[in-house]
């Protein structure tokens, strides 16, 4: 059976690198920890000392509810646990919200969601009237992975809003919230990462400069010989020009591997022809096959991004934590 291995030493390396910029880390573990497995990743984060995390919804929050604070990006309106914080993505949501602990999201230029700059005064008055506690204020960059001025335009807007909210809190004797805007791609670009950083893909090693946490290993279910001029797989899109050994491994597009028609480069071999729903055929004779141990390399097979592959790796596949490259697991 295929297995996802999670390298704890790589995860801790990535956390150490981020901590060198700002030790206050609000780790994004939404969407099953970017496909890595929310239970396994949470266990390692707690061991490292992480206190605050971000999730997609209440269902995910309930799976990891013993963190000090859990920021829910897409929350309901009802009241909930005291350590749950609701991201407020619009003025309409704020008006309907009944949970007292919130993070105000500010739209500084992404234009996806968030409180608009000209809505901020009204939003703060609602906060005052409903006696909400603003635990945090944040925004999100749209172009931090590119060279350009958009990130710094957004950053400057956020600093002005930060100053306005701080003054509001001071004038009304409210606790100052913490501010966070630094995502993975902006960690080493900003002059000041403010109170907390909020990395996602960097934690998992899905961008350059960080070590990959996930490796995917499949078991071999059959081995056979392919004669010269013989094909294999659906529609025989691969035809061998020599006599070779082939192995069928127990992973396919139903497990989250992107669909391909004409082969795919794996760690130590190549897949041949079309991928099947539950299997792929690879060149050579093996007992196990490393599909990938660095998502940054595997993604080069496809016209997509590392996130897209990672989040789709099936939760049915067993996750095992390994201490380091020596393969010891827990």
Q: Which residues are catalytic?
A: 30, 234
Token readout for 273 is 């022809």
The b/e string for 288-306 (b: 16+ C-beta within 10 A; e otherwise) is ebebbbebeebbebeeeeb
Strand partners, 224: 246
Give Cβ neighbours of residue 64 (< 8 Å, ≥ 6 apart): 29, 38, 39, 42, 53, 55, 70
Separation CA 274–CA 261 (nearest Å): 4
Spatial separation of the C-alpha atoms in residues 56 and 241, rounded to whole Å: 49
**Sign of the dihedral defined by the CA atoms of residues 6, 7, 8, 10, in that order:** negative
Helix (H) or strand (E) holding 17: helix 8-19
């Amino acid at each position: 059976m295929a297995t996802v291995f999670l390298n704890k030493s790589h995860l801790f390396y990535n956390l150490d690198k981020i901590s060198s910029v700002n030790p206050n880390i609000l780790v994004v573990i939404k969407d099953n920890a970017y496909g890595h497995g929310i239970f396994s990743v949470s266990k390692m984060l707690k061991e490292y000392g992480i206190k605050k995390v971000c999730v997609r919804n209440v269902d995910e929050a309930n799976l990891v509810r013993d963190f000090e604070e859990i920021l829910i990006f897409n929350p309901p309106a009802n009241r909930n646990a005291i350590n749950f914080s609701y991201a407020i993505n619009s003025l309409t949501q704020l008006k309907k919200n009944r949970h007292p602990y919130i993070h105000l999201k500010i739209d500084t230029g992404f234009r996806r969601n968030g409180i608009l700059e000209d809505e901020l005064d009204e939003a703060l008055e609602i906060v005052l009237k409903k006696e909400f506690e603003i635990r945090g204020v944040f925004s999100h960059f749209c172009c931090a992975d590119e060279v350009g001025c958009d990130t710094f335009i957004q950053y400057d807007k956020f600093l002005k809003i930060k100053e306005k909210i701080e003054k509001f809190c001071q004038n009304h004797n409210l606790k100052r919230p913490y501010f966070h805007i630094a995502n993975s791609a902006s960690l080493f670009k900003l002059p000041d990462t403010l109170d907390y950083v909020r990395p996602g893909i960097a934690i998992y090693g899905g961008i350059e400069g960080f070590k990959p946490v996930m490796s995917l290993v499949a078991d071999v279910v059959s081995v056979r010989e392919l004669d010269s001029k013989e094909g294999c797989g659906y529609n025989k899109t691969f035809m061998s020009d020599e006599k070779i050994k082939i192995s069928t491994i127990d992973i396919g597009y139903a497990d989250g591997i992107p669909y391909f028609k004409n082969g795919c480069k794996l760690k130590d071999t190549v897949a041949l022809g079309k991928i099947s729903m539950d299997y792929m055929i690879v060149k050579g004779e093996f007992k196990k096959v490393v599909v990938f141990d660095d998502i940054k390399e595997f993604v080069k097979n496809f016209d997509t991004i590392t996130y897209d592959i990672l989040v789709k790796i099936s939760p049915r596949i067993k996750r095992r934590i390994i201490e380091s490259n020596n393969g010891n697991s827990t």
